[in-house]
Structure 1
Amino acid sequence: MGSGAAGTGPFKIVNFDTSTYSVRLEAFEQYWGGTPQIKNVLFRNNKDPQARFEALKSGQADIVDDLARNQWSEVTGDFRLVSFWAPNICYLGMNCKHEKTKEKAIREAIRLAIDQNELLPLYNNTARPNYSMLPQTFVEYDANYRAPGLLADMETRRTEAKKLLESAGALGREIKISHPKDDRPYLPGPSKIADKIKQQLNAVGFKAIANGVKNDEFFRQVSLGVYELILIGWMSDNGDPDNFYGPLTDGDDSGKPSFNNTSCSMDMKVHEMLRAAQLATDDATRISIYRNVERRLQEEVAGYVPLVNTQQAIALGKRIEGVVVDSLGMYYLSSAKFRK
């Protein structure tokens, strides 16, 4: 939870407590859109998915965000589940500067070895393979594009991956996958997903290790670039492709990669293309530019392996109605009310 919260809207902040991870709001009577019917709202952070679900069932909570996938089928009767394809991605970042992964052939071998379809059961089949840094919810996503070699069957891909490792003298190379210990909407059960990727890499000749780290250490690694491979993801908060490509693949005008660019590398041609997309006002032009950006990133940089785009779900309790959930997964309480 951040600090110094501020905002405008139908509710105003009464208390913002970082020690208890809670925010208390009350209805703003002078709101231009009318005073909300619900007078008090309490947001409370709880990392335990079972505890969140029990709070919903007991009536202690009226809304549970990011309900655990194995609980979706249990939302029945007067409870309501709102599920949607979220504007998110999970991907494997590959450090183009690290000694273990700086060779492009190594990164291409990693990409060939990973079978996204094998990850889907770990999401309770609430995810779909994704082949771009953009999620499939975006019109700029090119459903027909696959990075070089990915149209082949998995047996052929694994054989080609082994050849690349042999040519690079890297068979048996130890390689570490860093992943967070805590769940994220795009990464439920991070250790299980990392372990499956580890198995896939080992099948082509790597000696992969999955290393789970606490959030503080995980994001320290991201900021310093001290990792080889990193299992991570991103969620959009504005629905624009630049919200993905900018922070995740680009950098500044001097060529310095951005904080969240897990490839630790940037391509100045991509930088120019992204600036052109920002300035374009024609939809067809923007779509074309962003699709060409994806091609160049995968074919020239090869700094990430897209994995999946996922569904997310919000559960609503028995007594609340009128909650609006938009295409970004944000929910609005201005029209919410309690059932009589």
Structure 2
Amino acid sequence: MKLFRAALLASALALPLAAGAAYAATPADALVIAQNIDDIVALDPAQAYEFSAGEINANLYDKLVQYDAEDTTVLAPGLASEWVADEEAKTLTFTMREGATFASGNPVRAEDVQFSFTRVVTLNLTPAFILTQLGWTPENIGEMVTVDGNTVTVKWTGDFASAFVLNVLAARPGAIVDEVLVMQNEVDGDMGNAWLNTNSAGSGPFVLTDYRPAELVRLTANETYWNGAPAMKQVLIRHVAEAATQQLLLTSGDVDIAKNLTPDQISGLGDSVKVETFPQAAVHFLSFNQKTESLTPPAVWEAARYLVDYDGMTETFLKGQMEKHQAFWPKGFPGSYDETPFSYDVEKAKQILADAGVETPINVTLDVINSAPFTDIAQSLQAGFSEAGINFEILPGTGAQVITKYRERTHQAMLLYWGPDFMDPHSNAKAFAYNSNNADDNYTATTTWRNAWAVPQEMNDEVNAALAEADQNVRNEMYVDLQQKVQAESPIVIMFQAALQIGMANNVDGYVNGSNSDFVYYRLVTKN
């Protein structure tokens, strides 16, 4: 066993600061992470779309505005020190931060912003849609993003509030790259794409110094970072696919953080490590297709909210993986509604159905992805709903089968989850509170259309009004109101918000993991 462990550490986790070295304890100025990173397809911020790639880029690049490590719920100045919005003219004018430089030593210029946005739109790779929704095209981008000295003016088309546009610019493809360095590494007109998939050209707290697919990522501290050099001089992310191996490496002190432990492994960790839980952006819900006549009475929707054993699930098999959350926008971000007024109450549910004259039993099929924890949640729902005469026949399937059925609107009841594309509440408001055309031939990638719910016109109007509202405080209040309305009367029953449990050494402090992979930060990490 000792021989096996020594070989494992030497081959899979040796920190290559010196050739052939293996450590029983990690260096004081290096953060070593065991993580499954085989999802990485690309690291160029104009192309990267995977979870692991987003986490890495968050530590390499800055945006004009960003949700930063100090508080991932606040949209703060980044490479722009200030900005002015003109809602009527649909423009934002940014003043660039004085003295900021790229890790290369090149100054961060307004021209780099224009180049970065033009590059995303021109390459038109996977995440480009986040920026092009502003009406940007390769043909007009030179007019939509303009430079005047130390300022950048961004224009957009469509009825969008500047607050929405700011959140778009804070998303992954809004990363600002070093034009001079990138274009020095252009090959065959690729605008540096191939080079940026194994190198970095950012102004962030770290620099990419080694990337070996499905093996390791090494980041080195940017000592000239405008917001302060990181305490960790290196971050080494080692690809470790097996959760059991991650657990072994963490408890033996060979890594500082293990990212992919199962609940059973979390519960089996000893005193030498700690576990921190981070709420995630995905919300999990039960929905009723309005093409199924027995599921159309609003009393069925209301009763359903009292037939979910929220506490029973989150305190047992979902413990640490999900928390009770009953609104469409995840908590921890402006505009969230965090009240949870519903609890498991069979008698109340029965009374709601009886008062509305709903006849039971109601027999309904429930489609679910055939893996944990979805099948476990489905079984709990089956038990709870049967108490009030609503009988679920569980239909397990692969993720592709379940989602295809959902998109075709051929399900009856569905158990699924939803995560925003970028951290603006409109991303989820459109999914849960908007459906202006419920026709079968008007395919729309929202939960409302997929459940054939013809959203009341006043709610559609409020979603559009919130998107265009210039006052951020008023805008947040409108999203809270929309969540309350969906919570009160909708065939979509939101139950949980996902959570991520991470094991780490007791001496690690300052690790930041926001609601998604784009908000994972290493620059505040210290070891004591």
TM-score (norm 2): 0.51
Take 1:72 and 1:281, find their aligned partners in 2: how far apart are those partners?
45
Is the 1:277–1:286 contact (alpha carbons within 8 Å) kept by the matching residues of 2?
yes
Give the aligned partner of residue 410 of structure 2.
226
Deviation string, structure 1 residues 247-284 (Cα, Å, up to 9, x no partner): 34435789856324153435243332122222223343
Give the aligned partner of residue 186 of structure 1.
none
Q: Does 1:327 align with 2:524?
A: no
Give the aligned partner of residue 57 of structure 1.
251
Matches within 5 A, 1:104-183: 104-122=298-316, 123-124=318-319, 127-138=322-333, 140-143=335-338, 146=341, 154-162=346-354, 164=356, 167-169=357-359, 171-183=360-372
1:313: how far off?
1.7
RMSD of Structure 2 on Structure 1 (CA): 3.8
Task: Give % identity.
Answer: 13
1:196: how far off?
0.9
SS at match of 1:137: coil
SS at match of 2:295: coil
Is the 2:278–2:513 contact (alpha carbons within 8 Å) kept by the matching residues of 1?
no
Q: Does 1:303 align with 2:491?
A: yes
- For 2:44, give the aligned amino acid: A
Is the 2:258–2:502 contact (alpha carbons within 8 Å) kept by the matching residues of 1?
yes
Instruction: Give ranges in structure 2 of 5+ residues lacking alignment.
Output: 1-38, 46-56, 61-205
Is the 1:178–1:227 contact (alpha carbons within 8 Å) kept by the matching residues of 2?
yes
The runs of 4+ residues in structure 1 deviating greater than 6 Å are 28-32, 252-255
When residues 28 and 250 of structure 1 are mapped into structure 2, their CA distance, relative to the original with a 3 A threshold, is: farther
When residues 39 and 128 of structure 1 are mapped into structure 2, their CA distance, relative to the original with a 3 A threshold, is: closer
Identify which of 211, 221, 225 aligns with 1:14: 211
Q: Does 1:246 align with 2:246?
A: no
- For 1:25, give the aligned amino acid: V
When residues 54 and 30 of structure 1 are mapped into structure 2, their CA distance, relative to the original with a 3 A threshold, is: closer
When residues 304 and 273 of structure 1 are mapped into structure 2, their CA distance, relative to the original with a 3 A threshold, is: same
When residues 43 and 94 of structure 1 are mapped into structure 2, their CA distance, relative to the original with a 3 A threshold, is: farther
Give the aligned partner of residue 279 of structure 1.
468
Deviation string, structure 1 residues 71-106 (Cα, Å, up to 9, x no partner): 444444442322234444322122223455344443
1:321: how far off?
4.3
SS at match of 1:113: coil
Identify which of 504, 507, 528 aligns with 1:316: 504
Residue correspondences, number: 319
- For 1:327, give the aligned amino acid: G
Take 2:479 and 2:283, find their aligned partners in 1: how far apart are those partners?
16
- For 1:305, give the aligned amino acid: V
SS at match of 1:156: helix
When residues 206 and 253 of structure 1 are mapped into structure 2, their CA distance, relative to the original with a 3 A threshold, is: closer
- For 1:68, give the aligned amino acid: T
Is the 1:95–1:225 contact (alpha carbons within 8 Å) kept by the matching residues of 2?
yes
Deviation string, structure 1 residues 97-155 (Cα, Å, up to 9, x no partner): 34553444433443343342332323237754333223343453445675xxx589542
Identify which of 387, 391, 411 aligns with 1:207: 391
Is the 1:92–1:304 contact (alpha carbons within 8 Å) kept by the matching residues of 2?
yes
Take 1:158 and 1:103, find their aligned partners in 2: how far apart are those partners?
14
Take 2:498 and 2:438, find their aligned partners in 1: how far apart are those partners?
35
Instruction: Give ranges in structure 1 of 5+ residues lacking alignment.
Output: 17-21, 184-188
When residues 29 and 83 of structure 1 are mapped into structure 2, their CA distance, relative to the original with a 3 A threshold, is: closer
- For 1:97, give the aligned amino acid: K
Q: Does 1:196 align with 2:392?
A: no
**Structure with bigger gyration radius:** 2
Is the 1:91–1:307 contact (alpha carbons within 8 Å) kept by the matching residues of 2?
yes
SS at match of 1:316: strand
Is the 1:238–1:328 contact (alpha carbons within 8 Å) kept by the matching residues of 2?
no
When residues 321 and 291 of structure 1 are mapped into structure 2, their CA distance, relative to the original with a 3 A threshold, is: closer
User: Which structure has more RCO (C-alpha within 8 Å, separation ≥ 6)?
Assistant: 1
SS at match of 1:92: strand
Identify which of 288, 311, 333 aligns with 1:94: 288
SS at match of 1:288: helix
Identify which of 37, 41, 44 aligns with 2:237: 41
Is the 1:95–1:228 contact (alpha carbons within 8 Å) kept by the matching residues of 2?
yes
